[in-house]
Amino acid sequence: MNTLNCKVLVIGGGPGGYVCAVRAGQAGLDTIVVEKARVGGTCLNVGCIPSKALIHVAEKHHVLTEAARGDSALGLSASAPGIDLSRTQVWKDGIVEGLTSGVAGLLRKAGVRQIEGTATIVDGKTVRVETDAEPVTIRCEALVLATGSVPADLPGLPFGGAVLSSTDALGLTERPETLAIVGGGYIGLEIGGAYAKLGTKVTVVEAAETILPQYDTALTKPVMARMKALGVAFELGVQAKAHDAEKAVLTVARGDEETGIAAEKVMVAVGRRPVIEGTGIESLSLDMEGRFIRIDTQCQTSMRGVYAIGDVTGDPMLAHRAFAQGEIVAKHLAGDSAHWDKRCIPAVCYTDPEIVTVGLLPDAARAAQETTATAVFPLQANGRALTLERKDGFVRVVYDKQNELVLGIQAVGAGCAEMAGEFALAIEMCATLTDIADTIHAHPTLGETLQEAALSGRGLALHI
Ligand code: FAD
Ligand code: NAD
């Protein structure tokens, strides 16, 4: 059996793993990354990028559909659009291919050795990899676990056939007539919204009494309203039970009462589980936090020399959090005193309208600080939003009345995702209302709404 030695061994080439490996390689550390599928992980192959590609296509389709119906306030007309989803898939796969080969190139450039195969952890310094050729044993000084997560299914609805995971739903080459989405969270609403715009009759089935239960209803209300206008039906506070593929019906239960929902296909998106089982990670007996690996501020696990980053360490399961953790581990291994000292992790839900949250939501801020206040500016008073035909939504600043320190910023609105960077920068730099209010924002941009919300918090609202 082939044996290799290295300083840093990264298991998993997703956003956490590849960033850690690239940075470790750039720091001159002898680094190997093992990936069983394609580098880029969930994010590039079956997550962030493919879903945003589908959302983009769906929006284009929707604009044409409105014009064809004679509903275009802009005076546009068109004939009824069609869609060849197999061509859409080719376009999407081209983007994925470009990005994943880009990542492989970055790893090569950083001098990182890439091994294709499935890793099994033997101990904290030894990993065995099954490859297409003979197995390889790799010995390392530091082991980084970046095995990510996979979709969780439900007992009555195992994946297969007409019961789809997000990966399956993103790869469809035929548009389903009816689609039930189980789970009104990030994935369900992003992909469900996209299929609704492609003309599928979508029903969202959610166990909680509200969609995106982690957010307040002020943020989710515009999303719900827009999705309803797109023809999406909602079944809230219900449990999905079983799917009859022949009858194309999903049975859901509210207490003892059962009803059937038309569903040629069902996508289950009720969260994701960490990839630990079957990888040998269990044999390390690491301290856990629920189902996830417990880490400290340097992403060290309870075993010396073993690190964990990304989805395998729990919520929020976001690519940019994994990136940041990968950077910290690489810096730490290169002798830097890096540790997690971020004030916020921005989150964007690519629903229509998009939801952006950075820092504390009002309730959490109030619980921590009695002198919390909020200031809101509606998109309907923003010129750019009006020219984009989308005045639904608002920007909200959560701040401390005593010193004007901004504690959180949220927005809901079409195109608001692009403001996430400014929101995060403001919180990271401990901006006050005055810092934001006194910053010249280009006109006409959606970003002016943040300035206006800050002005409003200071009692100086201008355009309202
Ligand atoms: P992963 O990306 O899951 O990568 C782990 C890698 O490890 C995989 O490539 C896997 O093949 C490999 N691996 C696992 N076990 C082994 C083994 N034993 N041997 C070798 N290799 C192994 N996040 C955002 O921030 N923005 C978004 O818009 C967004 N959209 C999403 C949309 C969807 C549909 C989904 C499913 C997720 C989305 N996410 C989004 C979440 C994001 O994809 C994840 O948070 C991110 O990919 C986590 O990175 P990771 O490196 O921890 O794990
Ligand atoms: P999620 O946690 O966002 O939502 C799951 C939803 O399913 C919740 O609303 C929950 O109440 C509901 N649910 C749970 N059990 C249920 C049941 N039995 N029946 C009906 N509903 C049930 O999970 P997800 O949508 O699967 O996404 C997983 C993770 O992926 C997200 O938490 C997020 O971190 C990441 N992600 C991020 C983005 C983004 O950043 N734009 C996009 C997609 C996914």
Q: Which residues pair with 2 in a beta bridge?
A: 136
- What integer pLDDT is reported at residue 331 of this predicted model? 98
- What integer pLDDT is reported at residue 320 of this predicted model? 98
Contact 376, 394 (CB under 8 A): yes
199 ligand 2 Cβ < 6 A: no
Task: Name the residue of 43, 252, 272, 315 to mutate for ligand 2: max ligand atoms within 8 A of Cβ.
Answer: 272
Q: How far is CA 239 from CA 155, 193, 255, in A?
A: 12, 21, 8
| Radius of gyration, alpha carbons of the chain | 24
Ligand 2 atom with least separation from CA of 350: 41
Establish whether 443 is a catalytic residue: yes
Element (H, E) at 376: strand 372-378
- What integer pLDDT is reported at residue 394 of this predicted model? 98
Question: Which residues have CB under 6 Å of ligand 1?
Answer: 11-17, 34-37, 41-43, 47-48, 51, 118-119, 146-149, 166, 187, 275, 279, 310-311, 317-320, 322, 350
Task: Write the pLDDT tens digit of every residue in 297-320.
Answer: 999 999 999 999 999 999 999 999
Look at phi and psi of residue 62 and say left if phi exceeds 0, alpha if psi is from -120 to 50, else beta: alpha
Amino acid letter for position 297: T
**Peptide bond just before 151 cis, omega within 30 deg:** no
Task: Name the residue of 10, 33, 137, 147 to mutate for ligand 1: max ligand atoms within 8 A of Cβ.
Answer: 147
Q: What angle do CA 430, 221, 153 make, to 5 degrees?
A: 90
Given 61, 332, 443, 463, the catalytic residue:
443
Contacts 24+ apart (CB under 8 A), 174-178: 174/85, 175/83, 175/85, 175/199, 175/200, 176/200, 176/264, 176/265, 177/201, 177/264, 178/202, 178/203, 178/248, 178/262, 178/263, 178/264, 178/265
Supply the residue whose CA is at minimum distance from atom 30 of ligand 2: 317
Q: What's the whole-number average pLDDT of the chain?
A: 97
Percent of the chain with pLDDT over 70: 100
CA distance 308 to 66: 48
Looking only at the bridges linking them, the beta strands covering 118-123 and 126-130 are antiparallel
| Distance in Å, CA 187 to ligand 1 centroid | 13
| Distance in Å, CA 15 to ligand 1 centroid | 7
Helix, strand or coil, per DSSP, at residue 94: helix
| Distance in Å, CA 275 to ligand 1 centroid | 10
Helix, strand or coil, per DSSP, at residue 141: strand
Task: Write the pLDDT tens digit of every residue in 430-455.
Answer: 999 999 999 999 999 999 999 999 99
| Distance in Å, CA 366 to ligand 1 centroid | 33
Task: Write the pLDDT tens digit of every residue in 173-189.
Answer: 999 999 999 999 999 99
DSSP states of 297-324 as a string? TT-B-SSTTEEE-GGGG-SS--HHHHHH
Q: Where are the beta strands (DSSP E) in 153-255?
A: 163-164, 178-182, 201-206, 233-236, 239-244, 249-254
Which tokens go with 177? 């007539």
Task: Write the pLDDT tens digit of every residue in 37-67.
Answer: 999 999 999 999 999 999 999 999 999 999 9
Q: How far is CA 62 from CA 349, 386, 419, in A?
A: 19, 19, 24
Task: Write the pLDDT tens digit of every residue in 336-346.
Answer: 999 999 999 99
| Distance in Å, CA 323 to ligand 2 centroid | 21
413 ligand 2 Cβ < 6 A: no
CA distance 35 to 48: 19
Task: Write the pLDDT tens digit of every residue in 241-293.
Answer: 999 999 999 999 999 999 999 999 999 999 999 999 999 999 999 999 999 99
318 ligand 2 Cβ < 6 A: yes
206 ligand 2 Cβ < 6 A: yes
**Secondary structure percentages of the chain, helix, strand, coil, to 5:** 35, 30, 40
| Distance in Å, CA 39 to ligand 1 centroid | 10
Supply the residue whose CA is at minimum distance from atom 45 of ligand 1: 318
- What integer pLDDT is reported at residue 71 of this predicted model? 85
Please tell me the number of the ligand nearest to residue 348's CA.
2
CB-count exposure of residue 203 (10 Å: 0-12, 13-18, 19+): buried
CA distance 166 to 150: 10
DSSP 283: G
- What integer pLDDT is reported at residue 19 of this predicted model? 99
Task: Name the residue of 48, 121, 181, 190 to mutate for ligand 1: max ligand atoms within 8 A of Cβ.
Answer: 48
Q: What is the pTM of this model?
A: 0.98
| Distance in Å, CA 98 to ligand 2 centroid | 28
**pLDDT above 90 (res 1):** no
- What integer pLDDT is reported at residue 313 of this predicted model? 98
Q: How many CB atoms lie within 10 A of CB 379?
A: 25
Supply the residue whose CA is at minimum distance from atom 52 of ligand 1: 310
Contact 126, 139 (CB under 8 A): yes
